[in-house]
Structures are given as C-alpha cells and as structure tokens.
Amino acid sequence: MESHKNGLVTGGTGKAGKWVVADLQEHGYEVTNVDLRPSDQVHTYRVVLCDLVQVFGVVEGKDAVVHLAAIPWPGEHSPEVVFRNNVMSTFNVLQAACVLGVKKVVLAGSESALGFPFAFRPITPVYLPIDEAHPLLAQDAYGVSKIVIEDLGRGYARRDPAMSIICLRFSYIVEPQDYAVELRQAWADPSHNTFNLWAYIDARDVALSCRLAVESAQTGFDAFYIAAPDTLMREPTRELVERFFPGVERVADGFEGRASPLDLRHAKDALGFTAQVTWREVVGEDDGG
C-alpha cells in the first residue's frame, strides 16, 4: 500500500525485529529502526522509548509504526521495570502517533496475555482452540503488561477512529536455525513447552504478519493470535492438553491431530494471514536434529 511505505520499526535489531525489517525492505518500504543496539540492515536511532520527547522525534513523518521493542520476558528485570518499560513505551508510541497523525500502528502482543507462560498458580484453558474471546488470565508483570497495551490500543482507537491499531499476539517465536534445539527439548520432555501450550511461530511468519497488518485497510483496534497451524510436538494436541491441563470445559468438534491450541481463523479472515512455515518443512517430519 503506497500510503504506508515510510515505516518505523522499534526493536528492529531484535530476534523478531530483524526479520520484520528485512521483509518490509524487500517489499519496498523505507525502514527506520529504533533500538538500543545498532542494526546491520538499516539505519538505527538509539532511542529511550520511555521518553516521550524522543519518541515524538522518531515517529514524526512516518506512515506506519511497528512497535516490537519491549523487555521480552520477566526473568531478567524486576516486575516493576518490566511493566513500566513495556507499558510506557507503548503509551508513548501511541501518543506520538495519534498527535502526529500517524494512522497505522502495529503492536507486538503476546500469547503470554493468556497467562500460561509465567503463571504463579496453575490455570487451564476454558476451551479449545483458544480464540481472541478467551479470557486473558495473566498473573505476572510481563503478561499483564501485554493486556494493558491492548487496552491502550483500544483507548487511542476511541480517541481517533481513523487510526488502525493492530495487536498481534505472537506465539513462541522460533528462528530457522533454532528448530533442532527446540524440538529436541520439546520431544525429550513434553512438559518443557507447556508454557506456550506447545504452540510456536516462525520468525519469518512474524514478519509476514506485521506487513499484512501494516497493509490492512481496517480501522479501529483489533487483536489477533499469530501462530503456526500445528504444535512443536508429535503427539496429538488433545492428548497433551488432557495430560497437562485437565479440566478444559469444552473442545470444538474437529479439533484433532497436532493442531495448534490457538484459533487462527481471525487473522486469516481479517488480515489474510496464514503461516507459511512449519517445523516439518524446516527439519523434516521425524528429525529433531
């Protein structure tokens, strides 16, 4: 879409960000990166995103912002640092975009909002597959921060209904070179990946989903689960869920095989997104490396 060719990516040096930057560049976008580390792909501004003045400076003149920068998990910082960083950086991006007239913002959400990855007390899915209407049950600072950024997105969409604010709830992101290790761990101990309900998304598909979100014509706020159609496992998903998450109230008819526990229809219907990569296409059906 020609009107959104000047893009800003925050966190473009990171695990997912470098793939997002590359994909946008390959599709004709002029990309500026914001990160605390330089990128070998594109010019990078070193910006403290919790400083609103700095954010205004880099958002000005952009057509779209893909906001990926965040503390990516709660294990290396105190809870208040995780929460403050993730929420305030998102507030600043949305505030700057809204005031400066940038109509397209894509936010990096997470399946962590569901509460499974960093739960202090056990929880169980209410139903399978999990769609965007499923309760968000996070108990930790990271997961709760991902819930709050969605509320921020809704608020700014109410303030300016012409804005398009899309939150992509990414599953566990895997880069191509990491599949062998990830699969060995998952297959050796199925409990290892209960934190993400065995779901995943290839980093290249993260990039695709971000570009499709930028190019979407819809306005207002919306959230989408972004995951591969299968799990990292060889066992049927229902068997794994019954073993590790007993008490699911209902399972949809036809939910069989190795299907992802996340319902991916909304992203397909609204964004045209379907994951293009599964682990079997990378390493082979029965080879974990």
- Per the structure, the complete domain to which residue 105 belongs is given by 2-176+200-229+262-276
**What does the pLDDT read at residue 1?**
39
pTM over 0.75: yes
Say if 181 falls within a structural domain. Answer: no
DSSP result, 11-69: TTTSTTHHHHHHHHHHTT-EEEEE-SS--SSS-EE---TT-HHHHHHHHTT-SEEEE--
Say if 287 falls within a structural domain. Answer: no
d(CA 101, CA 111): 29
Say if 194 falls within a structural domain. Answer: no
In 199-248, alpha helices (H): 203-215, 237-244
Of 11, 4, 9, 10, the closest CA to residue 27 belongs to 4
Work out the pLDDT band at 284, boundaries 50, 70, 90: confident
**What does the pLDDT read at residue 2?**
47
Chain length of the chain: 289
Say if 208 falls within a structural domain. Answer: yes
Q: Output the domain CATH number for residue 115.
A: 3.40.50.720
Handedness of CA 189, 194, 199, 202 (dihedral sign): negative
Q: Residue type at 232?
A: L
Residue-wise pLDDT for 198-228, tens only, equals 999 999 999 999 999 999 999 999 999 999 9
> If you average pLDDT over residues 49-78, what whole number do you get?
97
| H/E stretch holding 226 | strand 220-226
Q: Residue type at 116?
A: F
Say if 249 falls within a structural domain. Answer: no
- Look at the chain and report how many structural domains it folds into: 1
Q: Which two tokens stand for residue 126?
A: 């209410």
Say if 127 falls within a structural domain. Answer: yes
Say if 253 falls within a structural domain. Answer: no
Handedness of CA 214, 216, 217, 219 (dihedral sign): negative
Handedness of CA 205, 206, 209, 211 (dihedral sign): negative
Say if 251 falls within a structural domain. Answer: no
Q: How far is CA 200 from CA 113, 156, 186, 261, 285, in A?
A: 15, 30, 12, 10, 16
Work out the pLDDT band at 286, boundaries 50, 70, 90: low
